[in-house]
Structure 1
Amino acid sequence: MSDFAASWTLSRSRFDAAIEGLNHEQLNWRLQEGVLTLAQMAVHVAGVEVWFASQMLGESLGPEDSRLTLAATDGVVNEKPFPYSDTELTSEFVSQTLQKGRDWVERVIWNPAEEVRRRTVQSALGPVIDGEGALARLGFHAGYHQGQAHILITAPGFPR
């Protein structure tokens, strides 16, 4: 197991556990304007995973996966609307997108080839990085959002 895989597995499993079992109302509850919902956060995490892994593998995406990768940036780090409506962001859909992200990342993170490590990747925040930089970011990304998820779930007004 690579060091990248160890940190990704830990942070991703904690994020998954934080939102596991939440219903549609809880996943789509918004603390305040301009803050992602838990569902949006989860789809964003999966979108970044698919985007980074597909670039590291040099693989093209179909329309469904291309739309998912828009969640890496749209409504998160730019002013465009989030690519999915709240009605689309069901518990089942969130679970499926997280599994899709996991499937893509597992293809590159366990034992990344030198070619994958050197591949050029456009990051969600704008800079062009190499595959090693993308793997490092994947290692902590879900953990960053797990902290945000904890704040939302423990906030006054969160549906119980």
Structure 2
Amino acid sequence: FLGLEIFGVALPILFHAIYGIYIALQAKNNPGRYGYVRNWQFALQRWTAWFLVIFLIWHVFYLRIFTKAINGTPISYELLQTLFTSSPITTLLYTIGMFAAIFHFCNGITTFCMTWGIAKGPRIQNVINVLSMCLCAFLCLVTIAFMASYFVM
């Protein structure tokens, strides 16, 4: 699984992060000046990206490198339950991290469809945006249920 973790997960995410940082540094966020929904989504896409870079570095270091590789502790449901139930700050950070990743993914679907010419007109762009944000809301609800499962004994 190490090869899959490196070549199937870590390297694509690392490429996406590096290229995303390049894009985010060029972005001109101005949602306060132009309060359109898509303008806010543009800004949130960049802000969630910055949060996710920091969150994923912490997450990978703590769970994959420190806990599993250095300490030799297998990552299990019980380990995560202990992690989340012992610290409300950790639970909150993971919940925000998952919400940020979900929004970043779902908003990315809309942007992908516009950039690649799948959604050419304003009407289909709005439809795809609404569907993507509905998916975002649904996945956030699933995340809340998922996180709550750690607190049910």
Bucket of the pairwise TM-score, normalised by the shorter protein: 0.3 to 0.5
Q: What TM-score, normalized by structure 1, do the two folds share?
A: 0.33
Where relative contact order (Cα < 8 A, 6+ residues apart) is larger, the structure is 1
Work out which of the two has the higher radius of gyration on C-alpha atoms and give 1 or 2: 2
More helix per residue: 1 or 2? 2
